[in-house]
């Protein structure tokens, strides 16, 4: 009979990492491409791990591999352990404390270029051996599926197992073009918006929230779009009154293209946060922790 210590020596860290790649990629071929290993080597690693554990970790079909319930549970439990080992190894080897490697970061298509990219540019200047891949999406994508180390997200988050680092709130602005205000008047109270044309999001329920969620005003308008940049441009062209995060229209306000109205009646600030897969920040690789802390400092200081 094989003892526990003898069984453990049958597998290596590479086998565990290969198994996680198979779970994430859904195929042996894709896992091999991700790890730079041959199909045969990946297959041997999986077989060795299943033989060692005496369990089927992955069920095979003609088209795709699917983790078994036991395999999914095992993957979740070893993922944190392997990440911790990688972080410890990186800390030990980085005797000169220089950061190196690639970081994949997610953020939105408008906020990313305007605020995240300039901060990351400064971070890369200070850390010449680090590479960054910035992934833009206006959807709350799966961080594991997209292989993101962390993401900068705006808005309320659905319940999840993600870790969250809150950075504060982003202010709203109610605004209109000078031409519109000259033609139709300047509302002095949110209730007057019902008498004005508003530029709306396509999926809005035609009610805007004001004064810390205590007041909901029914609005209407002839122009709608799901795209924020399009809506803001429509307001600037005089099609109606708009409601948008202040950071989106700050330059239009500074240029005099639009004017803020109903100041003091805006909706509550929009949450801004950094999220990552459920593990302690201290267990993340040094380069990821450093990039995260750099963005925390820069984005928390924004006054928008």
The answer to whether 56 and 68 are in contact (CB under 8 A) is yes
pLDDT in tens, the chain (304 residues): 444 444 444 567 888 888 888 887 788 888 888 788 888 888 898 988 888 888 889 887 656 678 888 888 888 888 777 777 776 666 665 555 678 899 999 999 989 999 999 999 999 999 999 999 999 988 888 888 888 999 999 988 876 778 888 888 899 999 999 999 999 999 999 999 999 999 999 877 788 988 666 678 999 999 999 999 999 999 999 999 999 999 999 999 999 999 999 998 888 889 999 999 876 777 788 899 999 999 998 888 777 7
pTM beyond 0.75: the answer is no
Kind and range of the H or E element at 4? helix 4-8
Is residue 213 left, alpha or beta, with left meaning phi > 0 and alpha meaning psi from -120 to 50? left
Cβ atoms 256, 123 nearer than 8 A:
no
């Amino acid at each position: 009979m094989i003892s526990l210590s003898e069984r453990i020596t049958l597998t290596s860290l590479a086998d565990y990492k290969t198994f996680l790649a198979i779970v994430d990629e859904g195929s042996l071929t894709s896992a091999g491409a991700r790890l730079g290993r041959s199909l045969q080597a990946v297959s041997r690693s999986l077989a060795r791990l299943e033989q060692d554990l005496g369990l089927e970790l992955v069920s095979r079909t003609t088209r795709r591999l699917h983790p078994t319930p036991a395999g999914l549970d095992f993957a979740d439990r070893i993922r944190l352990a392997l990440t911790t080992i990688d972080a410890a190894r990186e800390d030990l080897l980085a005797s000169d404390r220089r950061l190196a490697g690639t970081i994949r970061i997610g953020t939105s298509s408008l906020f990313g270029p305007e605020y995240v990219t300039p901060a990351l540019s400064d971070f890369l200047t200070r850390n010449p051996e680090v590479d960054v891949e910035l992934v833009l999406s206006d959807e709350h994508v799966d961080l594991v599926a997209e292989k993101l180390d962390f993401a900068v997200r705006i808005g309320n988050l659905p319940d999840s197992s993600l870790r969250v680092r809150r950075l504060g709130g982003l202010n709203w602005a109610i605004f209109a073009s000078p031409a519109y205000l000259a033609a139709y008047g300047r509302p002095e109270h949110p209730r007057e918006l019902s008498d004005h044309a508003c530029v709306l999001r396509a999926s809005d329920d035609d009610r805007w929230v004001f004064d810390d969620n205590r007041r909901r005003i029914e609005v209407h308008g002839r122009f709608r779009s799901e795209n924020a940049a399009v809506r803001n441009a429509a307001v600037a062209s005089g099609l109606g009154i708009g409601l948008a995060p202040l950071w989106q229209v700050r330059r239009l306000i500074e240029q005099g293209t639009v004017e803020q109205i109903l100041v003091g009646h805006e909706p509550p600030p929009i949450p801004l946060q950094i999220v990552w897969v459920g593990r302690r920040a201290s267990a993340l690789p040094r380069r990821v922790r450093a990039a995260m802390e750099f963005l925390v400092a820069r984005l928390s200081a924004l006054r928008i």
